Amino acid sequence: MTPELTMRPRLAPGCRLNEKTPEPRTLLMPERALRLNGPSLEIVERCDGQHTVQQIITDLQKIYSKAEPKKVESDILGYLALLHDQRALDFEPESPARTP
Amino acid sequence: MTSAVPQPLALVAEITHRCPLHCVYCSNPLELARRDRELSTETWSRVFREASEMGVLQADFTGGEPLARTDLADLIRSARAAGLYASLITSGMPLDEHRLDELVRAGLDHLQLSYQGPREESSKEFAGANAHAQKLHVAKWVKDRRIGFTLNFVIHRQNLGQLEEMITLTEELAPGRVEFAHVQYYGWAFANREWLLPTREQLDRSLEILKDAEERLRGRIRVEWVVPDYYAKYPKPCMGGWGRKVLLVTPTGDALPCHAARVIPGMSFENVQERSLKQIWDDSAAFRKFRGEDWMQEPCKTCDRRAQDFGGCRCQAFLLAGDAAATDPVCSLAPKRSIVAAILSEVNSAPMQTAKQPDWIYRPNPA
C-alpha cells in the first residue's frame, strides 16, 4: 500500500539496522538482510516512528537537490510501499508514536 | 569459478539436540549428540565473535530445542554483543513469560515458532507430544513484545488437507511472517518419507491456497513457502551453494556446510574447539569439497543454471543416487532422475483413502 503523507513509518518488530561499523549499513530482518546505501539508507534511518512521510520526502529533496523533486517523492513512496509489503515497516497513524 | 573464498552471511547455531518433541521429520542426524558433549557458553561466545568478524550477519539458534539450554539468554547476549542478529527457532517448549522476557532483554531479535498443524492432534501425531495449547500461549506472549515473529508450519501428505485451517490460525495469531515448509527429505524425514511425501494433486492444490493467502494477506503477514523438491523441474540452490553463504555448528562444535552433510561418506568435519571458524570455513577439506564448480559432473559442469542452483543438494545426490558429486536427482536433467520419478509414481498411484495408518519412526531424545 502507498502511505499517506501524514503517516509515520517505523521499522517493524524484528527489523533493525546493523550496529557494526564501519561495515556497510544493512537492514536486518527475519531470515533476510538488505544492504543499504545512499537514498535507501537515508530513508530507512528516518523510519523511526517520529518522521512523517512528508518530512522524509522534504529531507531527501534537500539532500538530493539536483534530482527532480516529483521523482524523489515517487521513489520514496514506492520504496516505503515495498518495505511495507515485505513487513519490514509499519505505518503508524498521524499522532506521534509512543516510545517503545 | 573465482578463487576468492565467499563470505558467509548466516551461522546456524545448533546448540543442542535435546528436545521435548519427537518430530517424525526432524532435520537432526539419526545419531544425536549427548548433553555432556555440548559446547560451553564460552566456546559459543567465541564462535559468535569469529563469525561476526568473518562477515556473518545473523545467528539462528536452533536444535533440538534451544530452550533446553539453561544458558540460552547468555548465548543470545553474546551473539548480540558480537554484532549479530539473534533469531530463535523453537517449539516453544518449555517456555513461560518470565523466561521470554529474559531472552528479549538479552537482545533476541526474532522468534520462529514451529507448528505441526492447526490442531492439538497434529502435535500429538507428528511430534509425539501435546504441544499445541502451549504454542498458542507462546504466540500470544511473543505478540505482546516488540520482537520479530514468524510462524512455521511443517506441511506434508498427512496434514495438507488442513492447510486452510492453518492459514486461519495464522490470521488469528497475526505474526509478521509465516512459513509453510513442505518437508525436505533428510534425517528423520528421509526415514519416514513414504508417509510424508504429498501427491501431485495435493501439492498443486496447496500451491493454489498459498498463492491466494499470499495475495490476500499482503501488507499484513508475509507468506512464504518451500516446495518439496522431488516435484521440482530444477533443484533448489541448497544452502545457497556449498560453503558459500551459510555454515552450521553442531552441539559438539563440528562445523558443517549444512544440516545433513554428515550422511556423505568419507567426509570429516573440523571442530571449533580445535581451529578458528575462519580457518575451517576457508581451508577445511569439508568446506572446499563442493565449493565452486570444479567438482561438478555433466550435465551440471556445462549447464547454464549451474551458477543459480549449484547442482542442487549434495546430500540428496548421495541419499538418492549414491554419489554426492552427481547432479541432484530431483533435477529434470539429472541422469538419475528415474529414481525420483519411481518414488513419485509410487506415491501418486496409491490412493490416499486406502493408505494404511502411518507406521512412524519417532525421533528420540538424546541422553
- Is B85–A100 a contact, with Cβ atoms under 8 angstroms apart? no
- Tens of pLDDT, residues B136-195: 999 999 999 999 999 999 999 999 999 999 999 999 999 999 999 999 998 889 989 989
Q: Which chain A residues in 27-46 lie under 8 Å from chain B, judged by CB atoms?
A: 28-31, 33
- Is A13–B149 a contact, with Cβ atoms under 8 angstroms apart? yes
Chain A contact for B49, CB < 8 A? Answer: no
The predicted pLDDT at position B355 comes to 59
| Cβ-Cβ contacts under 8 Å, B87 against chain A | 30-31
Cross-strand partners of B58? B10, B85
Rounded Cα distance between B316 and B332, Å, is 14
| Cβ-Cβ contacts under 8 Å, B146 against chain A | 13, 100
- Tens of pLDDT, residues A28-81: 999 999 999 899 999 999 999 999 999 999 999 999 999 999 999 999 999 999
Does the pLDDT at position A97 exceed 60? no
Residue B55 or residue B356, greater confidence: B55
Are the CB atoms for B213 and B180 separated by under 8 Å?
no
- Mutation target to probe the B interface, by most B beta carbons within 10 A, among A26, A27, A28, A85 is A28
Determine which helix (DSSP H) or strand (DSSP E) holds B61, and give its type and residue range: strand B58-62
Please name which of B15, B187, B155 lies closest in space to residue B89, comparing C-alpha atoms: B15
Report the complex ipTM.
0.90
**What distances in angstroms separate CA A34 from CA B6, B163, B319, one per listed residue?**
18, 31, 35
Please name the member of B109, B219, B221 whose beta carbon is closest to the beta carbon of A14.
B109
The contacts of residue A62 (CB under 8 Å, 6+ apart) are none
Classified as helix, coil or strand, B84 is coil
* Strands B10-14 vs B58-62: parallel, antiparallel or unpaired: parallel
Chain B contact for A87, CB < 8 A? Answer: yes
User: Mean pLDDT, to the nearest integer, of B302-329?
Assistant: 96
| Cβ-Cβ contacts under 8 Å, A34 against chain B | none
Which pTM value belongs to this model?
0.94
- In the numeric block, the cell 499522532 is attached to A95
DSSP state at residue B274? T
Chain A's closest residue to B59, CA to CA, is: A31
Please name which of B274, B114, B275, B262 lies closest in space to residue B190, comparing C-alpha atoms: B262
Does the pLDDT at position B1 exceed 60? no
- Tens of pLDDT, residues B80-130: 999 999 999 999 999 999 999 999 999 999 999 999 999 999 989 999 999
DSSP state at residue B358? P
The predicted pLDDT at position A98 comes to 53
**pLDDT range class, residue B353, cuts 50, 70, 90:** very low
- Tens of pLDDT, residues B179-206: 999 999 988 899 899 899 999 999 999 9
